[in-house]
């Protein structure tokens, strides 16, 4: 007879336990003091919304971006610490509440995290906040010593008067500084004077995550909390027809079975009784108009649409006419499937709803939008709803849903049971729950002149809009074109005199959403694969061919050149190995990748090495850039080799990592990352590493086998004959 043992991650690390017959050896480690701290007890100086300095010398940075593994709980405090001149060991980090002061500087009245914009959007904001606080501390010290402010400086958490040698800590000055007016203008440091920005810095959240003390949404608890799982329709758009809760109510621990707009919630004293109760639930579903949905039918529909003109996204010259007159014409069709976000931490949301207020604990990328949607669902004013942003076990866009699906659902469950409740999604719920990267079908043609150079490029894209019907529609859809559908295609860098890009955005009953690198995730595959096809058709080296078409784009050329150099482009390889190359700009950053690949006699693909070069403008924390490029490679490689959400009879066929695999450790290539030094404004790093990997790998497969990969994924079992 098996027994469930409830044990925290921290206790699991500290003590031995036998679970399911496997021995886990216990050990203990010295645990550093937490940098992820809540409000302190010390009296504090709060010069602005982002900084609180206690009389105990602790400097708390309030971060308005969600930490989902990308490192903002370290890189953003680095921006403030650089100008504040504080002691880095005294830094603590808090997640910001929902308030206008924390709105995204580029998105309007919305607080959120996404688009690889955290550093770019706070680059000046956070540095100015740090500089203002420093000036106020210096003013307080100068007044105490009755000296000129210009004779004082801040360094490592102290204000120092060099002439006299006097010094006061920030904590000692906190009370006096708190009554001063913030400066109206500040002068920021010159990059040559940076002490922290640009230096490799260990992450502040690592000790908590290693020790198991870190609180993710799935860890959140409140007194009297129940746990719920929801039975949702097996077909998108379906509804409950009838249900019988009798067997479910007999499961020990089940407290409530309630219908909510998204399905039937089984509420229990814990996750396992809730899950068992759901398995016993008898539900008859009204499947609706998507009951016949299938991937094959969608593919046929998309292919037919691709042969007709779409809405014009870009038109320069006469592409069709130039192709007709060209010396050689090349055409191809590319397709990529729906993709799930498959975050390591499945979706969850804890809601404590009262008559006059509502508190929510969840890992969200969209604080303002989720707060407002929760208020509407609860029947409360927005200011009556408080969101506690926990750490996120991955986001990739899934936790930035304009429709706030998982948050609104949890509010409805709490409203029904009138008790604090945490709604937890299983892995199967998560993978089958929708809001995927759209499926895409691309038809592309080009014409070459007598020198093998492209004279025309015609590209038709078919796939769902992720923006249509959301609050972002006005900002992203122009003249009927969803910019996120054509990014990376309508602005491709190659010098071709006649270009046409058009778009079909069919309405399909599958919920879709941005997925790490958004439209670039498919356009880079198509553009960089097809440019490779043109190079080989022209009997030219793929690297040299690209370089010859990038005269107007020096930053593309720079990353491409360094990647080729570091990968040894053109040098001999072992038998059965080949190299592929790709370059792409996304989120303001330029990334080139070279993949070294082998293909066995059985068609099994192995990626041995990836060289990745990025120009992301000025670098704040190089360690973050390295990590995000490596992460982007494994994320994009998982999709390229294995990722596919498919449908039959309206149902998603995949359910967990056995049939929606990730790259395993034994499949992981060696990844070398190189950062090009730059004085340009910082740009994105969370997503730009993803787009080039699929075309680089597929171009390498062609180099080995002569077989073009125009449909992803490549396949778990290898290449098809």
Neighbour-count burial of 606, counting CB atoms closer than 10 A to its CB (0-12 exposed, 13-18 middle, 19+ buried) = middle
Domain covering 217-288+347-424, topology:
Aldehyde Oxidoreductase; domain 4 (3.30.365)
- The whole-angstrom separation of Cα 522 and Cα 529 is 11
Angle, helices 405-417 vs 367-378, to 10°: value is 30
Provide the 3-class DSSP secondary structure of residue 585.
strand
Answer yes or no: are the C-beta atoms of 59 and 51 closer than 8 Å. Answer: yes
Indicate whether 19 pLDDT > 70.
Answer: no
Give me the pLDDT at residue 27, please.
Answer: 30
Nearest to 43 by CA among 32, 34, 30, 53: 53
Domain covering 295-338+436-705, topology:
Aldehyde Oxidoreductase; domain 4 (3.30.365)
C-alpha dist (Å) from residue 88 to 91, 166, 195, 282: 5, 22, 11, 57
Give me the pLDDT at residue 16, please.
Answer: 36
Nearest to 73 by CA among 44, 49, 37: 37
Provide the 3-class DSSP secondary structure of residue 19.
strand
> H helices of 618-671, where?
622-641
Indicate whether 615 pLDDT > 60.
Answer: yes
Indicate whether 640 pLDDT > 90.
Answer: yes
- Per-chain mean pLDDT for the chain: 94
Residue with tokens 């597929």: 698
The CATH class given to the 44-209 domain equals alpha beta
pLDDT tens-digit map of 185-238:
999 999 999 999 999 999 999 999 999 999 999 999 999 999 999 999 999 999
Question: What secondary structure does DSSP assign to 281-318, as a single string?
Answer: -EEEEE-GGGTT--HHHHHHHHHHHHTS--EEEEEES-
Indicate whether 23 pLDDT > 80.
Answer: no
- The whole-angstrom separation of Cα 637 and Cα 516 is 12
Indicate whether 9 pLDDT > 80.
Answer: no
Distance of CA 339 to the CA centre of its chain: 14
Q: Give the residue extent of every domain in the chain.
A: 44-209, 217-288+347-424, 295-338+436-705
Neighbour-count burial of 357, counting CB atoms closer than 10 A to its CB (0-12 exposed, 13-18 middle, 19+ buried) = middle
Residue 101: how many other CB atoms lie within 10 Å: 12
For the chain, helix, strand, coil in percent to 5 are: 30, 25, 45
Answer yes or no: are the C-beta atoms of 230 and 262 closer than 8 Å. Answer: yes
Three-state SS for 432-497 is: HCCCEECCEEEEEEEEECCCCCEEEEEEEEEECCCCCCCCCHHHHEECCEEHHHHCCCCCCCCCCC
pLDDT tens-digit map of 524-543:
999 999 999 999 999 999 99
Question: What's the CA dihedral at 393, 396, 401, 404 to 10 degrees?
Answer: -10
């Amino acid at each position: 007879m098996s027994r469930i043992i409830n044990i925290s991650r921290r206790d699991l690390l500290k003590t031995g336990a036998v679970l399911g017959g496997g021995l886990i050896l216990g050990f203990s480690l010295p645990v550093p003091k937490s940098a992820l701290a809540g409000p302190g007890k010390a009296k504090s100086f709060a010069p602005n919304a982002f900084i609180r300095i206690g009389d105990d010398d602790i400097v708390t940075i309030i971060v308005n971006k969600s930490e989902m593994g990308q490192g903002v709980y370290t890189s953003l405090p680095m921006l403030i610490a650089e100008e504040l001149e504080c002691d880095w060991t005294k830094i603590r980090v808090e997640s910001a509440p929902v308030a206008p002061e924390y709105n995204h500087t580029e998105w309007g009245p919305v607080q959120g995290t996404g688009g690889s914009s955290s550093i770019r959007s706070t680059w000046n904001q956070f540095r100015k906040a740090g500089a203002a606080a420093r000036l106020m501390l210096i003013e307080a010290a100068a007044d105490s010593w009755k000296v000129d402010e210009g004779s004082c400086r801040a360094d490592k958490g102290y204000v120092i008067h060099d002439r006299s040698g006097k010094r006061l800590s920030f904590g000692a000055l906190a009370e006096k500084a708190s009554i001063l007016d913030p400066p109206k203008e500040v002068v920021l440091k010159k990059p040559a004077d940076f002490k922290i920005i640009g230096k490799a810095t260990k992450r502040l959240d690592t000790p908590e995550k290693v020790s198991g003390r870190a609180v993710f949404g799935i860890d959140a608890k409140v007194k009297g909390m129940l746990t719920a799982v929801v039975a949702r329709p097996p077909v998108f758009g379906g509804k409950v027809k009838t249900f019988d809760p009798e067997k479910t109510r007999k499961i020990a621990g089940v407290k409530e079975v309630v219908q909510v707009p998204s399905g039937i919630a089984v509420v229990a004293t814990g996750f396992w009784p809730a899950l068992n109760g759901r398995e016993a639930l008898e539900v008859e579903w009204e499947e609706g108009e998507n009951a016949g949905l299938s991937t094959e039918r969608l593919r046929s529909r998309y292919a037919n649409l691709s042969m007709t003109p779409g809405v014009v996204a870009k038109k320069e010259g006469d592409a069709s006419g130039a192709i007709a007159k060209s010396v050689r014409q090349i055409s191809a069709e590319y397709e990529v499937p729906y993709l799930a976000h498959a975050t390591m931490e499945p979706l969850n949301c804890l809601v404590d709803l009262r008559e006059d207020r509502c508190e929510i604990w969840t890992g969200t990328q969209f604080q303002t939008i989720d707060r407002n949607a929760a208020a509407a669902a609860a029947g409360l004013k927005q200011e009556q709803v408080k969101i506690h942003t926990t750490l996120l076990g991955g986001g990739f866009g899934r936790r930035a849903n304009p429709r706030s699906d998982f948050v609104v659902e949890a509010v409805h469950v709490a409203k029904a049971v009138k008790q604090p409740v945490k709604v937890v999604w299983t892995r199967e719920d998560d993978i089958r729950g929708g809001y995927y990267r759209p499926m895409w079908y691309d038809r592309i043609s080009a014409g070459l002149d007598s020198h093998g150079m492209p004279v025309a490029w015609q590209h038709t894209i078919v796939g769902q809009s992720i923006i249509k019907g959301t609050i972002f529609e006005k900002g992203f859809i122009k003249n009927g074109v969803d910019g996120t559908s054509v990014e990376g295609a309508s602005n491709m860098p190659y010098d071709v005199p006649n270009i046409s890009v058009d778009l079909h955005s069919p309405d399909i009953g599958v919920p879709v959403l941005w997925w790490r690198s958004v439209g670039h995730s498919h356009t880079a595959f198509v553009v960089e694969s097809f440019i490779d096809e043109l190079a080989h058709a022209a009997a030219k080296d793929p690297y040299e061919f690209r370089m010859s078409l990038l005269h107007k784009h020096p930053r593309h050329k720079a990353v491409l050149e360094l990647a080729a150099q570091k990968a040894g482009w053109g040098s001999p390889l072992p038998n059965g190995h080949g190299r592929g190359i790709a370059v792409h700009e996304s989120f303001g950053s330029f990334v080139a990748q070279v993949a070294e690949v082998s293909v066995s006699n059985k068609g099994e693909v192995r990626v041995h090495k990836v060289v990745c070069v990025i120009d992301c403008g000025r670098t704040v924390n190089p360690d973050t850039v390295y990590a995000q490029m490596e992460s982007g490679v494994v994320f994009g490689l998982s999709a390229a080799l294995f990722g596919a959400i498919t449908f039959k009879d309206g149902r998603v066929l995949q359910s967990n990592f056995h049939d929606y695999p990730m790259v395993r450790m034994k499949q992981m290539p060696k990844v070398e990352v190189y950062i090009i030094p730059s004085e340009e404004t910082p740009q994105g790093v969370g997503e730009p590493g993803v787009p080039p990997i699929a075309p680089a790998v597929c171009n390498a497969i062609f180099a080995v086998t002569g077989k073009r990969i125009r449909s992803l994924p490549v396949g778990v079992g290898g290449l098809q004959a």
